[in-house]
Amino acid sequence: MIWKSFENIIEPHTPEAERLARIDPERIPRHVAVIMDGNGRWAAARDLPRIEGHRAGAESVKEITETSVRLGVRYLTLYAFSVENWKRPQTEVNDLMRLLRRYVQEDLPTLMKHKIRLQALGRLNELDYKTRVLVEKAIHSSRDNTGLQLNIALNYSGRAELVDAMRALGRQCAGGELNPQMIDEADIDRHLYTAGIPEPDLLIRTSGEYRLSNFLLWQMAYTEFYFSPVLWPDFRKIHYFEAVIDFQQRERRFGGVKKA
């Protein structure tokens, strides 16, 4: 049992164990999405270059991914690079791509060990060739894994995703395969990068920013939002547990009324 295995890695009578005990294993969010923010500020606070913040953030990625596996979360979607992030200095973009390449190469054995299936959301064709090939290779190697699905949002923009979906639907209409009058929400869903993935139950954004920054705009219509002041490189499983505890106290109504 995934849940049971936690007992080996969390010391009893620690703050982590106390939080974990408050989580209802029957109501774990199926899909958690994370806007990993605050790497630059973490580095600036230490007089370090921004890349050091991204490097430290990669450790949080590992911890939160592993914790997701152990909690029994089925889908974890991490916002790693937005379409708008190309506006950053070229050196930072290069550093981020280098870190990403290193991650998909060096961590592939760990992903395989935990039976994690990697997927990417975004316009991968606009990445440089080297990065794209390595990402696609890791996706391919892990495609038959049956555990956690780890979605990395890469060159992702919620609006660009909708544009891509509209173009695909437009082509089908022009080709006579689809009647515009018959287009429904399921048709749109099918053409998103997230086709086949259930909508996020919980969104976590770190670093005290309260915005979506173009993330999963269509998919988060009924997602529960959790904002943490902690900078991403400092975000640890105790913070994740707190987010899940908070989530479990929410009453999700989806526009209906409270259940009697």
Binding residues for ligand IPE (CB under 6 A) = 35-41, 79-82, 85, 96, 207, 209, 211, 213
How far is 76 from 73, CA to CA, in rounded Å? 7
Active-site residue 85, yes or no? yes
Tell me whether residue 121 or residue 138 sits nearer to ligand IPE (CB atom): 121
* Residue 172: contacted member of Mg ion, ligand IPE, none (CB under 5 to 8 Å, by partner type): none
* Residue 82: contacted member of ligand IPE, Mg ion, none (CB under 5 to 8 Å, by partner type): ligand IPE
What is the per-residue burial (b if ≥16 Cβ within 10 Å, else e) of 72-92? Answer: bbbbbbbbbbbbebeeeeeee
**How many CA atoms lie less than 13 Å away from 8 in the CB half-sphere?**
6
* Residue 213: contacted member of ligand IPE, Mg ion, none (CB under 5 to 8 Å, by partner type): ligand IPE
* Residue 236: contacted member of Mg ion, ligand IPE, none (CB under 5 to 8 Å, by partner type): none
The closest alpha carbon to 192, from 155, 175, 217, belongs to 217
Angle at CA of residue 248, ends 245 and 253, nearest 5°? 150
The CB-of-192 to Mg ion minimum distance in angstroms stands at: 24
Active-site residue 37, yes or no? yes
Catalytic member of 8, 24, 37, 246? 37
* Residue 35: contacted member of Mg ion, ligand IPE, none (CB under 5 to 8 Å, by partner type): ligand IPE
Sheet containing 75-82: give its strands across. 117-121, 149-156, 75-82, 31-35, 202-205, 224-227
Tell me whether residue 6 or residue 235 sits nearer to ligand IPE (CB atom): 235
Contact yes or no for 32/73 (Cβ under 8 A):
yes
Tell me whether residue 60 or residue 67 sits nearer to ligand IPE (CB atom): 60
Angle at CA of residue 225, ends 126 and 84, nearest 5°? 25
Residue nearest to ligand IPE (CB): 40
Tell me whether residue 21 or residue 217 sits nearer to ligand IPE (CB atom): 217
Tell me whether residue 169 or residue 203 sits nearer to ligand IPE (CB atom): 203
- Report the interface residues with Mg ion, using CB under 5 A: 37
Diameter of the chain measured on Cα atoms: 64
Catalytic member of 8, 39, 47, 85? 85
How far is 38 from 65, CA to CA, in rounded Å? 18
Which residues are marked as active site?
Answer: 37, 85
